[in-house]
Amino acid sequence: MKQSPPPFTTGPAAWIGSKPPLLRFLNTCHAEFAPETSGAVADYIPELGKADPDHFGISLATLDGHVYEVGDTQIPFTIQSMSKPFVFALALDTLGAERVESVIGVEPSGDPFNSIRLNAENHPFNPMVNAGAIACSGLIHEAKGDAAFEYIRQALGRFAGRDLDVDDAVYASESTTGDRNRAIGYLLRTNAVIRDNVAAVLEVYFRQCAILVTARDIAVMAATLANRGINPVTGEQVMSAYAISRTLSVMTSSGMYDYAGEWIYRIGIPAKSGVGGGILAALPARLGLGSYSPRLDKHGNSVRGIKVCEALSAHYDLHMLNRSDDARNSIIADYNIGNSPSRRVRRAQEQSILAAHHQDVRVIELVGTLSFSNVDYVSRQLAAKPRPQLVIFDLRRVTAMTRAGARLLAEEFRELAAHHVTVILSGIRRSSPDWKMIADWTEGLTNIRNYYLLDAAIEWAEDQVVYRYGGAIDFFEATDLSEQSLLAGLTDEELTDLASLAAIKSYQASEKIIATGEPATSLFFLRSGVVHVTLPDGIRLATLTAGMPFGEMALLEPRRSADVFADMAATAYEIPLRDFERFRKQHPRAGERIMRNLAQLLADRLILANAKLNLLTSG
Ligand code: GLN
């Protein structure tokens, strides 16, 4: 008779609405493999023989810290050999790789876990078999003496994200029957792999194997391995990235003893099993899996646990060597400033310089993860076109950066510096870890700028181009109304009449000139200095210099729709709206000319806005 599936169980948060498909899948696995009763509970350690053979729990921890649980995921059992990877990582970080690697090999032995065979140098083959694991416990004992076991227990607790207990009965049971491991211990001492008290080292080893975990703990511990040593639930960096990657290496080649080759061939996920019935599988950058089911096959691996791993790997195609990625997806937009200038409204002279030299500023907007291949692709895209004078890399949609990606990017910056190209980064904060990585590798380079807003980066780049081609701007110099774009085409007489209506106003840097929501009762013509227009939420709409109107929407709308601030000391001509209306009646031709200029101004803004949108949507 087919067993009915167990109820769905979940992590700490109850599901609202539908069930995630991954939880459904794990539940299906549980239902499908629960009837599997082949294999036998380990009893060479007598106390282990008391486990309930029907217990079956599956837990999967994601790298964003969610834990799925199905079945008996809260039943404690002893960690046994699944302690080996963690104690190896701990030894690497505690004693240094050189010391550890000088006495423990990293080759698969092809032997069972309890084999009493050493390699040609009389060292353990690897840290995943008993000989290597006992050697690791010996190293920790060498460094920490009597505190060794407590040191290990606490380290494993950091991987699990909680304090872990010990099953004293299982410990005592193994200690009284563990002569085979004692034989290995003494063999290690004659070969100087263990230097001090063998008996004490073995007690540390037996105790570490008797640490109590649940399937959930194992999933979180595995996820920490898959996450470069950062526990995704607690956020703690538990071990160094070096120790973690080397641990995963030996799990890959030797984690499943004499089944290791077949395991990695079929399932392709670094894993470790324990005779207590646990299997731990850590797929780097993806997930951690913990399963518990005490019936073991002839290699000492949990029968149902293997089936769960097989099903997960096959169903979602998770074999770690079955991967591809398209680096070309990393560039979301690539353009020069010709069709996407900054929001700074430029004077005619600046406009003509920028129109002639817009090819000098290239903007590359990136998205997603900046990996080795992504950055390589970007560097080739850059090289494929004539070299610009300035390149803006917009990173605001970059969600992650690998070390390889950051390194290549830094090398690209050096390459650009060698060709006197200025690099401007936007969308990355100086406080971010990604920036730190880049900064470390670009020390000494003076051609890198950082503006958080892309628009500010483009504006700065435009200024460089304007200066380079002789368009130096004296912001303090006062201009008169005849230089106003909105008033183009007016006669001298009309301008003189208009000037008689204007009051000259002065503003200090950062003074608010116009506030959103106020009645719009006047228009302004910027006479000197720089002002900017922003929406109340802080989005900058435009930066204006002398010769440009602001508050001109008063001609169309009764209330101010944006704020205007002075960027530096500024002066403006202010004309009350009612005076302006009177002027329009007296000079109908000039009035019509101004309204036509206004329509042109609005049309230009719209065309620009459309072009910017198009850049992002046309891929
Ligand atoms: N404590 C067990 C032993 O040394 C661990 C073995 C295992 O889990 N494979 O025999």
Interval 361-380: pLDDT, tens: 999 999 999 999 999 999 99
> pLDDT-based confidence at 473, cuts 50/70/90?
low
What is the DSSP annotation of 154-188? HHHHHHHTS---B-HHHHHHHHHH-HHHHHHHHHH
Q: Is the pLDDT of residue 536 over 90?
A: no
Q: Which residues pair with 273 in a beta bridge?
A: 279
What is the DSSP annotation of 527-553? EESEEEEE-TTS-EEEEEETT-EESGG
pLDDT in tens, 396-432: 999 999 999 999 999 999 999 889 899 999 999 989 9
Q: Is the pLDDT of residue 443 over 50?
A: yes
pLDDT at 301: 94
> pLDDT-based confidence at 618, cuts 50/70/90?
low
- Looking at every residue in the chain, the average pLDDT score rounds to 92
Q: Is the pLDDT of residue 154 over 60?
A: yes
Q: Determine the average pLDDT of the residues in 264-291.
A: 96
> pLDDT-based confidence at 326, cuts 50/70/90?
confident
Q: What is the whole-number distance in angstroms between the Cα of residue 11 and the centre of ligand 1?
A: 30
pLDDT at 1: 41
pLDDT at 257: 82
pLDDT in tens, 548-605: 899 999 999 999 999 999 988 999 999 999 999 999 999 999 999 999 999 988 898 8
Q: What is the whole-number distance in angstroms between the Cα of residue 99 and the centre of ligand 1?
A: 24
Ligand 1 atom nearest to CA at 130 = 4
- Give the integer Cα–Cα distance in Å for 119 and 108: 10
- Give the integer Cα–Cα distance in Å for 374 and 349: 39
pTM of the model: 0.78
Instruction: Write out 443-501 in H/E/C secondary structure.
Output: CCCCCEEEECCHHHHHHHHHHHHHHHCCCCCCCCCCCCHHHCHHHCCCCHHHHHHHHCC
CB-based burial of residue 284 (10 Å sphere; 0-12 exposed, 13-18 middle, 19+ buried)?
Answer: middle
Instruction: Identify whether the C-beta of residue 583 lies closer than 8 Å to the C-beta of residue 498.
Output: yes
Instruction: Identify whether the C-beta of residue 536 lies closer than 8 Å to the C-beta of residue 554.
Output: no
pLDDT at 80: 97
Residue whose CA lies nearest to ligand 1 atom number 2 = 80
Q: Which residues pair with 247 in a beta bridge?
A: none
pLDDT at 2: 43
Pocket test for ligand 1, best of 79, 114, 258 (most atoms within 8 A of CB): 114
> pLDDT-based confidence at 295, cuts 50/70/90?
very high
Q: What is the whole-number distance in angstroms between the Cα of residue 81 and the centre of ligand 1?
A: 5
Pocket test for ligand 1, best of 41, 44, 82, 113 (most atoms within 8 A of CB): 113
Pocket test for ligand 1, best of 41, 44, 45, 128 (most atoms within 8 A of CB): 45
Residue whose CA lies nearest to ligand 1 atom number 10 = 114
Q: What is the whole-number distance in angstroms between the Cα of residue 103 and the centre of ligand 1?
A: 21
Q: What is the whole-number distance in angstroms between the Cα of residue 84 and the centre of ligand 1?
A: 9
Q: Which residues contact 150 (CB under 8 A, 6 or more apart)?
A: none
pLDDT at 597: 92
Ligand 1 atom nearest to CA at 181 = 4
- Give the integer Cα–Cα distance in Å for 328 and 347: 38
8-state DSSP, 193: S
Residue whose CA lies nearest to ligand 1 atom number 4 = 130
Find, among 158, 118, 333, 125, the residue nearest to 239 by Cα: 158
- Can you list the domains of the chain with their CATH numbers? 13-322 (3.40.710.10), 331-468 (3.30.750.24), 481-614 (2.60.120.10)
What residues flank ligand 1, with Cβ below 6 Å? 80-81, 113-114, 130, 174, 181, 209, 274-275, 300
For residue 504, give both structure tokens.
């000259």
Instruction: Identify whether the C-beta of residue 494 lies closer than 8 Å to the C-beta of residue 590.
Output: yes
Token match 């470790």: residue?
272
